[in-house]
Amino acid sequence: MNARLLLAALVIPAAFPALADCWQPDAAASEVRFAATQAGAPIEGTFRSFTGRICLDEGQPDRNAIDVTIDTGSVDMGLPEFDEAMRGAEFFDTAHWPAARFISTSVTALGSGRYAAAGRFTIRDRTRDVEVPFTLSGAEGTPVIAGETAIRRLDYDIGLGQWRDTRWVGDEVTLRFSVTLRAEDNGAGATAPAP
């Protein structure tokens, strides 16, 4: 099981304006991935379905806000048996908690297209404070936010029973994303298509 959410430090062209409106993910042109280790070997996966609302305005920082919900049942590790295990009670337990959610408490513009979001991240019935650095790039009509951060799966009770043993599955998970944004009410779907 793998997870990534730490943002790349991209240099933004000076002509690219700060977002002054609220946007949502174009999931067909985006990805949310995770990376970890199992028995010391790297493993990765992706979430195919997610929704959100991103408001960024360097001129009015009090308007900055991020609210993203990930459908944990859309987990895809490339093997059906792995995906089924991840949806089960020992991991995401999607029958009881079908979504993970990040809600920002602050989003700070750092200049040159760089931002830092602090907020509350909930998986299953556990909520923890996280910090997510990210960058804003892309063309004016199709901005892209990208970044990554690390969490500890045991903070969220991901991996119960024998899977709590970090010799089997590492505790640190990296969450990574590259999300193309579209203006709200633009009609794009929220589920990324299978490759």
Residue 140, pLDDT > 80, answer no
Domain 31-183 grouped into CATH 2.40.128.110:
yes
Q: What was the pLDDT predicted at 20?
A: 61
Query: What tokens appear for 88 in the block?
Result: 């089960």
| CA dist., res. 101 & res. 42, Å (int) | 25
Picking from 17, 12, 24, the residue whose alpha carbon sits closest to that of residue 58 is 17
Tens digit of each residue's pLDDT (9 = 90 or more) over 154-177: 999 999 999 999 988 999 999 999
Element (DSSP H or E) covering residue 41:
strand 41-47
Tens digit of each residue's pLDDT (9 = 90 or more) over 38-83: 988 999 999 999 999 999 887 788 889 999 999 999 999 999 999 9
| CA dist., res. 56 & res. 54, Å (int) | 7
pTM over 0.85: no
Beta bridge partners, 46, equal 33, 76
